[in-house]
Chain A
């Protein structure tokens, strides 16, 4: 079920307020994944499912008060982030070895002069739809998303997976805009490298 298959936002919210169970199920299927990503990155794997479940329950109870000032998805993501933040992180994840690659000075993609060491080849699979259809690649992306350092994982989930604007994200994570932009770029750059390596070698 894709987000595109949902009705327009106004109709969507109206029908959800009017007990449309079938539509509710489609909304759950469309947005659960993004909510899970946010919950996982903030609260940790062990309670992510619980956080998302609680976020849905909060949303169900509040949907009649939802005035549509933001998109439904953004509203759900904010509820999830707040729910996750109120819970103590119970699981400490191991430090990602891949994070070491991020060091600006030792980025092996570039020469000391800052030129590409071996160029940057075109991707065989290039359109976003084709990227999404490649199951092995999606598994690879998923695997590496959770290896990102916590703060990068939080921001890429809130921004790119969850679709929140940067001001809202800075408020949720209590970080400055410039810090947020640096973290977001590091996370996106890492994911670009994951896809690039997969395209080049077929390996994750």
Chain B
């Protein structure tokens, strides 16, 4: 049986469906009986979704205006 420490070390491969057949079976068996690791995998997934949707650095108004000017100028030439 995998230890909890080894189980969570495979969390990313499990979520990204990169585990081989037997490692996946082993992992699923552990998750069935271990609430802490089950929570961990769920939390890891929530963290990844949060990162994919997060807006950590919005552009300033000046940056947007400058890019809009660039966009307009380039398009008018084409």
A interface list, Cβ under 8 A from B: 2-3, 19, 21, 24-25, 28-29, 32-33, 36-37, 40, 49, 52-53, 56-57, 60-61, 64, 104, 107, 109-110, 113-116, 119-123, 126-128, 131-132, 138, 141-142, 145, 156, 160-161, 163, 166, 181, 184-185, 188-189, 191-192, 195-196
**Cα(A156)–Cα(B58), bound, Å:** 19
Asked if B54 and A132 sit within 8 Å, CB to CB, the answer is yes
* Nearest-Cβ distance from residue B77 to partner chain A, whole angstroms: 10
Which one of A64, A188, A196 contacts B48 once the chains associate, using CB atoms below 8 Å? A188
Interface hits, B39-78 → A, CB 8 Å:
39-40, 43-44, 46-59, 63-64, 66-68, 70-72, 74-76, 78
Per a CB cutoff under 8 Å, which of B8, B44, B49, B63 touches A128? B49
B12, A185: Cβ atoms closer than 8 Å: yes
Give the most central of A2, A32, A107: most B CB within 10 Å: A32
